[in-house]
Amino acid sequence: MKRIYYLTSSLPSVQGISRDLHSVGIGDNRIHVTGGDLAGLQQAHINTAGVLEETDLMHSAFVGAMYGLGLGVLAGFMLAGMDPWGRDLGTETIMGVTVFGICVGAWLGGIRGISSRNHHLVPYLARVEQGKSYLVMVDADDELQADAIERVMQEKHREAQQAGREEHYSPLL
């Protein structure tokens, strides 16, 4: 998936961008807007960025789960090897401790991530917070869809500045 970032300074511009992207088949699930007057965006029925877009929840939970996987496997093998209760602890113990490690890691990572800004947005949020700007994030499945988005923006919305583009966007990485 590709994500294209645009900065614009007015609510009417955001409304026009949303309307014109809808006309080329880009749905609300692909357009996320943050910054400026959030109440105005909601009143205008613009799809605002939610918790998953604004925070690092997904990324941090994923990283936490990976750490939990490693530590869980290690702890599972250590527990099975030590044989602490005089019973033969085998594969089930290793798998159970590993799953537990993954869950705890994802939970702890999620707690960290929900209180952190999305690392994908950090380069753009400084400009949004300085003034009354809006950050419009548009997702595209492939290059053809990305080209259609860029064509609409160049032809109809020159007031919006393309702030960046991620060729291989993933909320997990």
Please tell me the distance from the alpha carbon of residue 165 to that of residue 131, in angstroms, as a whole number: 22
User: Are 41 and 15 within one domain?
Assistant: yes
DSSP strand pairing (134-140 vs 161-166): unpaired
CB distance 34 to 49 below 8 Å = yes
Span 73-104, pLDDT tens digits: 999 988 888 877 677 777 888 899 999 999 99
- Number of domains making up the chain: 2
Of 130, 126, 144, 138, the closest CA to residue 162 belongs to 138
Span 152-168, pLDDT tens digits: 888 888 888 888 888 88
- The two three-digit tokens of residue 11, written as one number: 């609510």
Span 116-156, pLDDT tens digits: 888 888 888 878 777 678 899 999 888 888 888 888 888 88
DSSP per-residue codes, 25-87? T--GGGEEEESS-HHHHHHTT--B--HHHHBSHHHHHHHHHHHHHHHHHHHHHHHHHH-TTSS
What's the whole-model pTM score? 0.80
Query: For residue 141, what are the domain limits?
Result: 2-55+118-166
Q: Which one has a higher pLDDT value, 132 or 35?
A: 35
Residue 173 lies in a domain: no
CB distance 26 to 164 below 8 Å = no
Last residue of a domain, one of 92, 114, 136: 114
Span 3-15, pLDDT tens digits: 899 998 888 888 8
What type of residue sits at position 91? T
User: Are 81 and 155 within one domain?
Assistant: no
